[in-house]
Structure 1
Amino acid sequence: MNIQTLRILSCIEGISFLLLLFIAMPAKYMWGNPILVKYIGMGHGLLFMALIALLLIVCQKYKWPNHIFMLGFVAAVLPFGPFLFDKKLKEMM
């Protein structure tokens, strides 16, 4: 596992979060169609767990300080956070 893989997964997870927030949730609460939340939410949850696991692996492999892991974790729970974290990862390559 390397930084490039982490960057790709981070961006995919960020996109899934935005889809959940701006497509699936409005579909559920504005139009009464909860099916998108079920599938997009499940996909996002799996991607989130994979991202955190990969972030931990990469941090250990490259011996990064703990604040980088925490920064990545916080970025993963904020909308648009993974894209900002990607800039940090790009600097670290």
Structure 2
Amino acid sequence: MDLKTAAALRRLRLVSVPEAASWLALIVCTVLKYTTDFNAVPVLGMVHGVLFIIYVLFWADAWNRARWPLGRSALYLVLSVVPTGGFWAERMLSRESVAAVEAARAAASADAEAVSA
């Protein structure tokens, strides 16, 4: 993997936690809307919607760059719909992006050795 792939994975990882947190906050606000006079659903609904769209765009970019198999790409997409799935996606993507950076650095050092030889 190259550094652009690692950057795509990092972007997806960074948006997964706020997206999951906004999902949970939206669930709490929906319960509060029907049990009290507090109604923050319109605001949090829009915030969550924007974060979800960003997640899906970053997911598509990461899928394109990382060349994930269909099962893994579907898993990351399904995790965006599950209320706490974004937290799981962040943990999995963290491991994957570290591996991508290490692979890119190893390839760069191998290229540098080949040029100097």
> TM-score, normalising length from structure 1?
0.88
CA distance in 2, matches of 1:39, 1:76: 20
Which of 16, 23, 26 is the aligned partner of 1:10? Answer: 16
Please tell me whether the aligned partners of residues 52 and 73 of structure 1 are also in contact (alpha carbons under 8 angstroms): yes
Higher relative contact order (CA 8 A, sep 6+): 2
The aligned residue for residue 30 of structure 1 is 35
1:29 Cα deviation from its structure 2 partner: 0.7
What runs of 5+ residues in structure 1 fail to find an aligned partner? Answer: none
What runs of 5+ residues in structure 2 fail to find an aligned partner? Answer: 1-6, 98-117
CA distance in 1, matches of 2:57, 2:84: 20
Which of 79, 89, 92 is the aligned partner of 1:88? Answer: 92
Higher Cα radius of gyration: 2
Aligned residues: 91
Which of 44, 53, 65 is the aligned partner of 1:49? Answer: 53
Return structure 1 stretches of 4+ with deviation > 2 angstroms.
none
CA distance in 1, matches of 2:37, 2:77: 32
Please tell me whether the aligned partners of residues 11 and 82 of structure 1 are also in contact (alpha carbons under 8 angstroms): yes
1:33 Cα deviation from its structure 2 partner: 3.0
1:27 Cα deviation from its structure 2 partner: 2.0
> Structure 1 vs Structure 2: percent identity of aligned residues?
27
Which of 46, 55, 62 is the aligned partner of 1:58? Answer: 62
